[in-house]
Amino acid sequence: MKVVALSIFAAVLLSLSFSSFNLWLFAWCGFIPLFMALENKPLRQVLVIALICGVTFWSLTVYWLIHVTLLGQVILILYLSVYFILFGCAVYFSRFLSVGSRLFFLPASWVFLEYLRSYLFTGFPWALIGFSQYRNLPVIQIADITGAWGVCFLVILVNTALYLFLRRNGGKKILLISVLVLTLSLSYGVAKLNYQSDWCNGKEQLRVSVVQGNIPQDLKWDKRAVAFIQNRYRDLTVDAALGKPELIIWPEASVPGLWGRDDAEFMQVFSLASQLNTNLLVGTVAYSNQNYSNSALLINGSGIPIANYSKLHLVPFGEYIPLKNIFPFLETIAPIGDIQPGKEYTIFKLHPALSERPVRAFAQPANFGVLICFEDLFPELSREFVKRGARFLVNITNDAWYKEGSAPYQHFAASVFRSVENRVYLARAANTGISGFIDPCGRISGVIRNTAGKEIFVEGCSSRNICLALAKRTIYNRYGDFFPVFCLLLDVCVIICFLRNKK
């Protein structure tokens, strides 16, 4: 009972670090009860204990998925718990290593397992342990070098060091090494925050507005609600236009019609952009040749659609059914029609000629890339947009599926890391929240709230001047996910050295 209680306690602490209560500190000690539960246990018990911890953690973290699919939620939780089991095996093996090797072996193992989870079977990089620190600004600055993976490594390193210290296994030496690594990372973070404290000083600026419609999910495709939805977005857009933005952004699938079929609905949107003389980016479902795509449509100040982007990375069981030809029963998990993925990275361009706001005039085109829905979870997409010339990023999403809870906050955390990794501004428009702006250091501003301070399931608009990034690219943007590869090589070297010494 003690062992089971410890594993559940670890899962609760870790899950709370991903809640909406901003309890990021729990992530730095949440693994310690799990380490205590696993110590001196035979491998068979290690597997069971790790499974209990994994199932508990993911049940508490993605509880909101039950609003979409119960069977899919159960399957996903069991699958994700496998990575806890694999980490339990790493903890079991680490007991045979020296204390110094163990200190770095466990963080490297966790990072590689999270990397594997992020890409295997289309990937599910939700709730990476580093994402829990998205409000801890000094810590997350290293993401422009290592990506989120470096933050994940730090969190597990501190957990491991504290556990070894409490168990008097390695003593002060281990604690000093971890403090040194953490201090170096924090020093880098503080330097970045101070050196780049004012990103808009002397740089080209663009005024952007985001709109949060707060349309209930059960109304989004109800034909009887078309007028209500159109009027809601019209009123909010008119309010946003009072600040004379160069770009107004609507959330994912915000237009209540199909682009390419429902012309009347879109003519109203085109007319609105023309009346306000502003560029309008709207989320839409496009229809062509009996195929559907989740898209973003840019309309210029003359009411003319000038560019379209279709989502590249679709949500499994949300936008398509993987392997349904091999396993037909999978369609019962989420019985939907398939969405077709996009084929190219579209760079939207706002030209100076389109702007009549001389105070904030920009000399070069304000290129930007759009991440639709959970595309902001995949760092290679934002990297590619920036490499192709995007000077800021946009995320449009709809988290109304998951009702009120932690899901919007867990999702929002990923966008913070995409800004820091590439050192670009990110504007985010979500149907029910969270909508706002993130600067290149991960600072959050302009979040839409009601008078009571509530951020989700409220309507509103928000405007900010954002700075257009220069051509300089970060180390992470240039070289990508080298850090998880380094962690894998580190683990391999430790295992080889162990086998040689044992022989």
For residue 185, what pLDDT is reported?
97
For residue 331, what pLDDT is reported?
61
Beta carbons within 8 Å of 351's beta carbon, 6+ residues apart: 365, 366
Q: Is 387 a catalytic residue?
A: no
Strands 426-430, 436-438: pairing is: antiparallel
For residue 352, what pLDDT is reported?
63
Compute the average pLDDT of residues 130-135. Answer: 97
Compute the average pLDDT of residues 241-268. Answer: 94
**Which residue in 152, 204, 311, 459 is the catalytic one?**
311
The rounded distance, in Å, linking the Cα atoms of 57 and 68 is 19
pLDDT band at 290 (very low <50, low <70, confident <90, very high): confident
Region of 268 (left: φ > 0; alpha: ψ -120 to 50; beta: rest) is: alpha
Question: Is 48 buried (19+), middle (13-18) or exposed (0-12) by CB count in 10 A?
Answer: middle
| Two structure tokens written together for 407 | 């899901």
pLDDT band at 196 (very low <50, low <70, confident <90, very high): low
pLDDT band at 478 (very low <50, low <70, confident <90, very high): very high
Q: Please give the single-letter amino acid code of residue 254.
A: S
For residue 334, what pLDDT is reported?
52
The hierarchical CATH code for the domain 205-469 is 3.60.110.10
For residue 358, what pLDDT is reported?
44
For residue 302, what pLDDT is reported?
93
Task: Give the model confidence (pLDDT) of 91-114 as tens digits.
Answer: 999 999 999 999 999 999 999 999
pLDDT at 23 over 90: yes
Task: Give the model confidence (pLDDT) of 333-383 as tens digits.
Answer: 554 557 889 999 999 999 765 445 544 555 678 999 999 999 999 999 999
Residue from 424, 421, 457 nearest 438 by CA: 424
The interaxial angle of helices 43-61 and 70-94, nearest 10 deg, is 140
pLDDT band at 445 (very low <50, low <70, confident <90, very high): very high
**Which residue in 41, 204, 319, 373 is the catalytic one?**
373
For residue 354, what pLDDT is reported?
44
Q: Is 252 a catalytic residue?
A: yes
| Two structure tokens written together for 106 | 């466990």
pLDDT band at 325 (very low <50, low <70, confident <90, very high): low
Q: Is 373 a catalytic residue?
A: yes
pLDDT at 329 over 90: no
Task: Give the model confidence (pLDDT) of 197-227 as tens digits.
Answer: 555 555 688 999 999 999 998 898 888 999 9
For residue 68, what pLDDT is reported?
84
Task: Give the model confidence (pLDDT) of 294-324 as tens digits.
Answer: 999 999 999 999 999 999 988 876 777 766 6
The rounded distance, in Å, linking the Cα atoms of 115 and 111 is 6
Q: At 289, give phi and psi (nearest 5°).
A: 55, 45
Q: Encode 269-323 in three state secondary structure.
A: HHHHHHHHCCEEEEEEEEEECCEEEEEEEEECCCCCEEEEEECCCCCECCCECCC
Strands 392-397, 205-212: pairing is: unpaired
* Percentage of the residues of the chain whose pLDDT score is greater than 90: 77
pLDDT at 72 over 90: no
- Domain ranges within the chain, ordered by starting residue: 2-196+481-502, 205-469
pLDDT at 187 over 80: yes
For residue 81, what pLDDT is reported?
97
For residue 389, what pLDDT is reported?
93
Share the mean pLDDT of the chain.
91
**Which residue in 114, 204, 252, 319 is the catalytic one?**
252
pLDDT at 125 over 60: yes
